Amino acid sequence: MANFTKATGIKDWLNQRLAIEKVEKVIASEYWIPKNINFLWAMGMILVFTFKMLLISGIFLMMYYQPSVEQAFDSVNYTIMREVDFGWLWRHVHAVASSVTFLIMYIHMFTGIYYGSYKKGREMIWISGMLLFITFSAAAFSGYMLPWGQMSYWAGMVITNIFSLGGLHMDGLVEWIRGDYVPAQAFLTRFYMLHVLLLPLAIIGLMGLHFAALRIPHVNNQDGEEIDFDAEAKKYLDGDKKGSKVMRFANDFLSKDMMVLGIFLIFFFYLVFFNYGFALDPVNMDKADGLITPKHIYPEWYFLWSYEILRPFSTNVGLIAFGFAQVIYLFLPWLDRSSNAVAASRRGKFKIWFWVLLIDMIVLTAMGKLPPEGIFSTIGLVAALVFIALWIILPFITMNEKKV
Amino acid sequence: MHNNSRRGFMGKAFGAVAGVGVLGSLVAMKKSWDPLPSVRAAGFTTLDMSIYKEGELITEQWRGKPVFVLKKTAEMIEKQTESQEKRDIIINGSHFMVAIGLCTHLGCIPAYKVDEEEFLCACHGGKFDWSGEVTLLPPPRALDIPPFKIEGNNMILGEIGPEFKAMKDSGITL
């Protein structure tokens, strides 16, 4: 049996049983972060915050929301918005936080791509991050069903129809997912379950994996410098804090993180209080009706780019292109053949590739919002083809990249 | 060595028991998500076909889906091509276009433009003519015809009659 002695205080008592000092060192004071980073390294902590906001506002929404096709719409638009004191606050926080989560997730992702933070032992960080993106997408979609407005219903119809897999006509699978011929009660209740239980559980698990994946390779730095963390940590602990290339996660790095978070919070609550409209589609303020399609169905802004890859093609080709767009980011660590884990600005052709990809994503997003007519469908088609071409040429342009 | 083989056996025995359990629970989970019997039972709709006016599109409802019913005008019957004619449902001498009013692309409801005599899907721009055939991509096929059975003046949606079976067998609808 382990040797327990009479505790000298509460801390010592806990220490003997839970090794709290050691745990604190591992996750905070002796978890080493490079010094040469910038504000883009704070996005992860902002995402932790937005997830926390989603969780807290979601808990309050759940107390009045009714997952039934008759009552769902009124429980959101009347009970929560008008009757419950501060009900509007939870709804606005929830809607804005989900939208902003995607904004920050895209910044986080493209920071990773720009600095090559997905290679040399950091592959699992990238993969767990992309899995988080996929689960967050599923959570956003399932949550979008819950107010049971027109956009909820028709987005549910269109997205579940994707599972018939075009020419394969797997209508049985679609009916199984819905539990009905069309989105109805069974559909609403199971998506409610996914949204409030299964997907949040998966997200929390994946967040654990994402942090754990960071532990051994450590975070990248903006110069792509390979740091000997053990040696630098020793230097720091021996008193040469200035000469060491690393700092403690807490409180050194965290203080900078909190500074960025503070600025973000001002932006976030500005949106919540004064500019929440972008996250609440006016079409969804009409109750779901299976006999009237809204004039123009479009997803929330964060799905527009992949929607636009689906749209300009015939069904089967569109589905293949869409499937390609959904999974291709996962394979980035292997499609990028260069071993340079440095900023894109120092990587020649990759630099051009990065900016073209980013601009293409923005063009796809803009076209996805516009009606599929005339010049817009042509631009959309070209942008979709560019997206696919970019990923196909990536291995070839990085294969012979000079070592920096 | 003796011990190892015993552990190996116990491991395999547990694996077998757990495997049966996993399979069983997967079946239960799959079945729990199937449409309920009450949902399936409500899947029949009877339409009285004698009440429709020529050239006017009426939207009925079957299994929660919109069903387009268009009694064709003499002019339409006159000008229709062979493939358009094959989609006709003839009840007491009247020609009808009856189809599920969901775009075969991803399931939005196409709107009927009376002047152009065509359907336009606002979601992805697909077009269908007044007989339900595709005139502009992306829809992969003509509007689906729901399973039907003709009894006198009535049309029962959800049941499979000989006319529907013939259409299905010749590939006119799914």
Q: What is the pLDDT of residues A46-79, one digit of tens each?
A: 999 999 999 999 999 999 999 999 999 999 999 9
Facing residue for B64 by CB, picked from A290, A294, A313: A290
Two tokens, residue A95: 């809607």
Q: Answer whether B35 sits within 8 Å of A311, measured CB to CB.
A: no
Query: Which pLDDT belongs to residue A171?
Result: 82
Residue in B34, B39, B138 nearest the CB of A315? B138
pLDDT at A357 over 70: yes
Same domain membership, residue B87 and residue B53 = yes
Instruction: At A401, list the tokens.
Output: 């990249």
Report the DSSP beta bridge partners of residue A246.
A34
Nearest residue of A to residue B63, measured between CA atoms: A181
On whether residue A368 sits in a domain, the answer given is yes
pLDDT at B2: 58
The answer to whether B161 and B150 have CB atoms below 8 angstroms apart is yes
A322's enclosing H/E stretch is: helix A315-327
- Closest Cα of chain A to B59: distance in Å? 8
Weakest mean pLDDT among A90-99, A156-165, A178-187, A388-397? A156-165
Could you tell me the sign of the dihedral formed by the alpha carbons of A105, A111, A114, A116, in that order?
Answer: negative
Cα distances (Å, whole numbers) of residue B54 to A389, B8, B75, B80, B155: 51, 77, 10, 15, 17
> Which whole number is the average pLDDT over A95-104?
97
Please give the residue of chain B at the shortest CA–CA distance from A289: B64
Supply the mean pLDDT for chain A.
93
Cβ proximity of A188 and A67 under 8 Å: yes
Question: CB A327: neighbour CB atoms within 10 A?
Answer: 10
Cβ-based contacts of B111 with chain A (< 8 Å): 293
Q: Is B64 within 8 Å of A182 when comparing Cβ atoms?
A: yes
CATH number at residue A350: 1.10.287
Report pLDDT for B122: 77
Best residue in B57, B119, B123, B141 for a mutation probing chain A (most A CBs within 10 Å): B123
pLDDT tens by residue, A264-293 = 999 999 999 999 999 998 889 999 988 888
Per-residue pLDDT band for A10 (boundaries 50, 70, 90) equals: very high
Residue A1 lies in a domain: no
Mean pLDDT of A190-213: 97
Residues spanned by the domain of B30: 2-34
Percent of chain B scoring above 70 in pLDDT: 98
Average pLDDT over residues A32-58: 95
Q: Is B56 found in the same domain as B87? A: yes
- Name residue A22's amino acid: K
In a domain, A378, yes or no: yes
- A184 and B43 within 8 Å at the Cβ level: the answer is no
Better-predicted residue by pLDDT, B134 or A65:
A65
Which position has the higher pLDDT, A132 or B121? A132
Q: Which of A180, A308, A376 is the mutation pick for testing B, counting most B CBs within 10 A?
A: A180
The per-residue pLDDT for A316 is: 84
Q: Do A184 and B64 touch (CB under 8 A)?
A: yes
DSSP chain B: -HHHHHHHHHHHHHHHHHHHHHHHHHHHHHHHTSPPHHHHHT--EEEEGGGPPBT-EEEEEETTEEEEEEEPPHHHHHH--HHHHHT-EEETTEEEEEEE-S-TTT-PPPEEETTTTEEE-TTT--EEETTS-EEESS-SSSPPPPPEEEETTEEEETS--HHHHHHHHTTS--
Judgement on whether residues B30 and B47 belong to the same structural domain of the protein:
no
Q: With a cut of 70, say whether residue A391 has pLDDT above it.
A: yes
Lowest mean pLDDT among A20-29, A296-305, A365-374, B77-86: B77-86
Say yes or no: A378 contacts chain B, CB-CB below 8 A: no
Least confident of A21-30, B154-163, B164-173: B164-173
CB atoms within 10 A of CB A284: 22
Rounded to a whole number, what is the distance in Å from the CA of B72 to chain A's nearest CA?
22
A3 found inside a domain:
no
Q: Report whether pLDDT(B117) > 70.
A: yes
pLDDT-based confidence at B149, cuts 50/70/90?
Answer: confident
CB B58 within 8 A of CB B105: no
Contact criterion met (CB < 8 Å) for A181 and B39: yes
- The H or E element containing residue A32 is strand A32-34
Residue B174 lies in a domain: no
* Minimum distance, in Å, between the CA of residue B5 and any CA atom of chain A: 31
Whether A77 is in a domain gets the answer: yes
- CB of A175 within 8 Å of a chain B CB? The answer is yes
Residue B137: its chain A contacts at CB < 8 A?
A: 314
pLDDT band at B45, cuts 50/70/90? Answer: confident
Model confidence band, residue B3 (pLDDT cutoffs 50, 70, 90) = low
| Lowest model confidence (mean pLDDT) among A193-207, A332-346, B25-39, B145-159 | B145-159
Q: Is A181 on the interface with B (CB under 8 A)?
A: yes
The reported pLDDT for the residue numbered A294 is: 82
> Residue A262, exposed/middle/buried by CB under 10 A (0-12, 13-18, 19+)?
exposed
Q: What pLDDT, on a 0 to 100 scale, did the predictor assign at position B1?
A: 52
Q: Do the domain assignments include residue A4?
A: no
Report chain A residues whose CB lies below 8 A from the CB of B45: none
Which residues on B lie below 8 Å from A290 (Cβ)?
A: 61, 64-66
State pLDDT tens for residues A375-385. Answer: 888 899 999 99
Q: What integer pLDDT is reported at residue A286 of this predicted model?
A: 92
- Answer whether A259 touches B (CB < 8 Å): no
Report cis status (omega within 30 of 0) of the bond before B138: yes
Q: What is the CATH number of the domain that holds A114?
A: 1.20.810.10
DSSP codes joined into one string, A203-250: HHHHHHHHHHHHHTT----TT-----HHHHHHHHHTT-TTT-SEEEII
Distance between CA A44 and CA A50 in Å, rounded?
A: 10
Contact status, residue B108 vs residue B102, Cβ threshold 8 Å:
yes
Q: Check whether residue B8 and residue B60 sit in a common domain.
A: no
Mean pLDDT lowest for which of A7-16, A111-120, A384-393, B83-92? Answer: B83-92
pLDDT in tens, A100-153: 999 999 999 999 999 999 998 999 999 999 999 999 999 999 999 999 999 999
A206 touches chain B (CB under 8 A): no
pLDDT at B140 over 90: no
CA distance A194 to chain B (A): 13
Burial class (CB in 10 A: 0-12, 13-18, 19+), A2: exposed
**Residue A1: predicted pLDDT:** 61
A320 and A244 both lie in a single domain = no
Plot region of A251 (φ>0 → left; ψ -120 to 50 → alpha; else → beta): alpha
Min Cα–Cα distance to chain A from B39, Å: 7
B95: left (phi over 0), alpha (psi -120 to 50) or beta: beta
For this complex, say whether ipTM is above 0.90.
Answer: no
pLDDT of residue A114: 97
Does A106 share its domain with A121?
Answer: yes
Contact A177 B33 (CB under 8 A): yes
Q: Domain boundary residue among A263, A281, A297?
A: A297
A93 and A156 together in one domain: yes
Alpha-carbon distance of A60 to A49, in angstroms, equals: 17
Domain boundary among A248, A279, A297: A297
The reply to whether residue B30 touches residue A295, judged by beta carbons under 8 angstroms, is: no
- Residues of chain B contacting residue A175, judged by C-beta atoms under 8 Å apart: 35
Q: Quote the number of domains for chain A.
A: 2
Does an H or E element contain A33, and which? Answer: strand A32-34
Asked if A109 and A257 sit in the same domain, the reply is yes
B29, B43: one domain: no
Percent of chain A with pLDDT over 70: 100
| In contact, B153 and B145? CB cutoff 8 Å | no
- Residue A128's domain comprises 10-297
Mean pLDDT, chain B, as a whole number?
Answer: 84
Residue A377 contacts B where some CB pair is shorter than 8 Å: yes
More confident: B70 or B122: B70
A167 at the B interface (CB within 8 A)? yes
- Are residues B39 and A180, on separate chains, in Cβ contact within 8 Å? yes
